[in-house]
Amino acid sequence: MADQNIEGEVVREIHLKISPQYATIVVVPKADEVNDANFPRNLHNAAELFLRVGMVENAAKLKTCVDGMITTYKENPDGKSGMRLGRACACWSCGYCGLPKNYQEGKSKKGPPGPCNHCGEPDQVNWLKVTTQQGKKGSEIPWIELAPLTEEEEKKKKDAEMAAKRAEIEANVKKAIQERKLVENSS
């Protein structure tokens, strides 16, 4: 493959480690998908499917979303501050997994899943059921994710990052000037 010349295509090697824990997140099939033998039954199967059909970006997006949720649970959140809890969906168009776009409206608990909170896809989405494995029985837990920042919070965050960067640059400049003076004085 290294000797092949592929014009117009970007060839890259990607390693995605998909945790076996993804198998505890069940993809709930719609009525017309229940008997489909090829339907992915959990997010581990979904990630494999994305990779098998060359939808690498979708697999990466799925991994980012699910790893975020798993990490949030591992950090033992209080479930209130800066978090959103609810029933999540998986989008087959972009790979997003998380609370649907209509989460704020409270419509996401009943009815069809979606639309996708990332790309807005209304149809190619399925509900997810997050379970904990306790032997053969697992109990369902809600999807948890960080709440998006408001415009004001986003501005404060950006301003704080800029101030920190400015302070870092100023400290580096001050250090460089001091080092230069030491070199000049020792000459």
Confidence of residue 151 (pLDDT cuts 50, 70, 90): confident
Measured from the Cβ of residue 102, the count of other Cβ atoms closer than 10 Å reads 14
Q: At what angle do helices 43-52 and 56-74 cross, to 10 degrees?
A: 160
What residues contact residue 117 under an 8 Å CB cut-off, 6+ apart?
A: 96, 98, 99, 100, 101, 103
174 or 134, greater pLDDT? 174
- What mean pLDDT do residues 64-91 have? 86
Confidence of residue 155 (pLDDT cuts 50, 70, 90): confident
Output the average pLDDT for the chain: 85
Q: Give the CB-side neighbour count of residue 133, counting CA atoms within 13 A.
A: 9
In this model, does residue 140 exceed pLDDT 70?
A: yes
Query: pTM above the 0.85 mark?
Result: no
Give residue limits of the domains in the chain: 20-146, 149-187
In this model, does residue 2 exceed pLDDT 50?
A: no
CA–CA dist 25, 41 (Å, integer) = 9
